[in-house]
Structure 1
């Protein structure tokens, strides 16, 4: 992906840290390049760090990082990587989008980590390539950009564009880039420095199978959870779910009680509510549209269920300042 520089010239890979950026996504992408310099014993890469306004920027974990400059300075490296955070609405994005479109006209190589793919999509810079989107933001991304093709893979590489789901996937993406540019042996040596046993390629899926996600071996229960996840907009009746499991209604209730300490109806309702919260925090969909998309037949019924579970109404949730938009189901894993 990174173009070959002139002989002996260090590749410039600039990182633009967006407000509330994910520290682990940033470090997993930047550190392999630093370690490659160490292992190769020469400056293969330089990794200047920038922010939108040139001021220190706070990560989602509260740590603040010094940067070298603002967007004007960030336009100088030949390769640019945006580092997103949990809240895609954390700042006015007009200046960033205009800057990205300018880089696009200059045919710069532009990448995005974690939620930063949202800004590439909004700037219309990835219309002709697949976009890797973290599983937790996939529903909202598809609602915001229904015409774009998304993938469940760790990262996607197109013509001067690449997207990565974040987390440890950034490490694998950079190791693949290093292997392409400098050979697999160097990439393997860099991976060894991270005690990283195997370099995953982009074709591997980010999302764990249901069995691994929930630590469940009961295939009947797995079938029911899968069908629940596939039918959030039009929820199935408990009798239909029991039929999928090949069990009676009472047996199904016992399975959920044993595994999750809750009824199947309660579990199903929580799945729909957590999905609705993602859409509230990550999209501009109207509340009634979200209610219908998550299987509630009216905004009043939806608001009542939402308030009973989360302690606030959907509308007030959307207006709360500083809220993180990444909301996992408690039984699901975090970022990759």
Structure 2
């Protein structure tokens, strides 16, 4: 482990970089900690304050994370002060976020040349404010279906993080450690960035373009390459599902061979697995968008809403409309706890 008395030689630093962490109620604590702690470590290892940060609330004097931990705010969006960068930390259901003053605050910061970043669901809010147009960006995989439906023309990747000029976005979780390594490297060089990663026992620093999710081999516990190919194709063809014969042709096996692979390795049929994949995608859209049930049915390959509702109820035990009501109640309870 790096020692606190180890100093990394740096050139003259005229002043610390001022960073504001805009904490949205219900923000993901892991993502926030993975973003702020590397800055503290950089200061300790450099023996000087390279970074200063403050916590900004959209309302009130403290902000509750998704797990109930509260962070005391240093400022609000009305008196945030001069900043060089703002990191938006959010979680939960960002599509439901509706606070015009916050979006106005972010737009004003952008006009003044402040660098803007987001972790976990934070990029969703930047997109809502219209601040990711023309930029590469990423967001947590859980929010990708809603993001692509709501902002179809943005350049969204499925990577761990993206740094594009004065925007930086991160999928969240511990991927923020990887992004901060890259930012510290840009700001102060490879030696300090490596020392910070070493401090946190980060023996492998991942590059931004690394995929967010485990591969189908790891997620499903299957190793047959033809079956993995078919599963990946299923996930990529949600709105217009392929026939089992088309999937088999894509995987380079006969239909009978593919049916045997699904039965042997997953204990199910091609049809059931494909429908499960589509219904899980539909569940995300129900929870994170305001699209109608009819629109979601079409977006997940169901020709009729009645067919979709019947399949959804059979799989999840409740109707799509009920799912949406339950999600709305849970979101309101979370907002009440956070306020």
Same structural fold, with TM-score higher than 0.5 when normalized by the shorter chain: yes
Pair 1:17-2:23 in alignment: yes
1:69 corresponds in structure 2 to: 75
CA shift for structure 1 position 296: 0.8
What's the C-alpha RMSD, in Å, of the aligned pairs? 2.2
Quick one: distance in 2 between partners of 1:113 and 1:307?
34
Q: What is the match of residue 279 of structure 1?
A: 285
Partners in 1 of 2:26 and 2:85 — Cα distance?
A: 22
Q: Is the 8 A contact 1:13 1:45 kept in 2?
A: yes
In 2, Cα distance between equivalents of 1:96 and 1:322: 23
Change (3 A) 1:276 1:106: same
For 1:174, which of 159, 164, 180 is the aligned residue?
180
Deviation at 1:239, TM superposition (A): 3.7
Indicate how the Cα distance of structure 1 residues 322 and 22 shifts in structure 2: closer, same or farther if over 3 A, else same: farther
* Structure 1 residue 121, shift from structure 2 partner: 1.1
What are the superposed Cα offsets for residues 157-205 of structure 1, whole Å, 9 maximum, x if unpaired? 2332211111122111111111122221111111111110122232333
Match of 1:200 in 2: 206
Kindly indicate whether residue 322 of structure 2 is the aligned counterpart of residue 316 of structure 1.
yes
Q: Which moved more, 1:315-324 or 1:26-35?
A: 315-324
Shift of 1:37: 1.2
Checking the alignment, whether the CA contact within 8 Å between 1:20 and 1:87 is kept in structure 2 is: no
2:297 aligned partner: 291
Could you tell which deviates more after superposition, 289-298 or 36-45?
36-45
Report the Cα distance in structure 2 between the residues aligned to 1:75 and 1:291, rounded to whole angstroms: 46
5 Å matches for 1:38-187? Answer: 38-187=44-193
Residue 319 of structure 1 and its aligned partner are, at CA, apart by: 2.8
The unaligned stretches of length 5 or more in structure 1 are 1-5, 325-336
Q: 1:305 and 1:70, CA in 2 relative to 1: closer, same or farther beyond 3 A? A: same
Specify which of 270, 274, 280 is matched with residue 276 of structure 2.
270
SS of 2:19's equivalent in the other structure is strand
Of 259-268 and 28-37, more deviation after overlay is shown by 259-268
Deviation at 1:240, TM superposition (A): 3.6
Aligned length: 319
